[in-house]
Structure 1
Amino acid sequence: MADLTGINILIVEDEEMLLELMIEEFQAAGAFVLASTTGSEALEKFKQNHFHALITDIHIPDGNGNWLVEEVCKMTENPPAIFLCSGVEFSYETEDCPHICAVFRKPIKISEILREVKRFFS
């Protein structure tokens, strides 16, 4: 398991079951995790907290992952961002967003995302 002690992560996902699983796995790896189900809620959490990384679904209520990452990058030093997507949007949306460090297609393997986040901070 990746050791993410001292790493603060914001996870934005509107699928509740997936969100809960990701929270559990990242907390078990030592990360401090906050979660949001909408873009506006995520942006507020970013304004109020310091995060080392952002994991977001591309399609989120009241926004999209590209918009969220662009807004976050205006407020902070471009934290590593990971997109979660369901398929076809991978080819056209992420090409226009240079702040994305990795993209995972659903269904995802949380262990692979953990490894990628650990790689950012090793």
Structure 2
Amino acid sequence: MPDRSTLGYEAEPSDVAAHLADFTDLLELYARASAENALLLAAARAATAYKARALALLHRDGYSYEKIATMVGISETRSGVQKLVEQGRTLLAQDAELGIVGTPDDAAPVHKVDGASASDLHHGHS
């Protein structure tokens, strides 16, 4: 089953190879590859959380589950999108409890489909 979280995006083999191309010592290569793996896995988890927050904020701004699915290009069912939105709401509520700026309690929606504002998503927690 394909990973739906990366639908429409694919890393170029040359870009992947470039991350590790400078190493000739095999132990150094192994250590670097391990470090890159840990970093990229953490980045992927954070990106998934940011995506969930974005969907929750789009829904808060008045977009239906069906419209959100169409806008972001996912083929989820209504219940699938709703589940992703709920995950985002949970993350945003946790952010609010931690006092992180850009929570669901913000006074007015500021998100635009063309990406004009991402202030609600720009913080250091996932």
TM-score, with normalisation over the residues of structure 2? 0.27
Considering fraction of residues, name the structure with more helix: 2
Considering fraction of residues, name the structure with more strand: 1
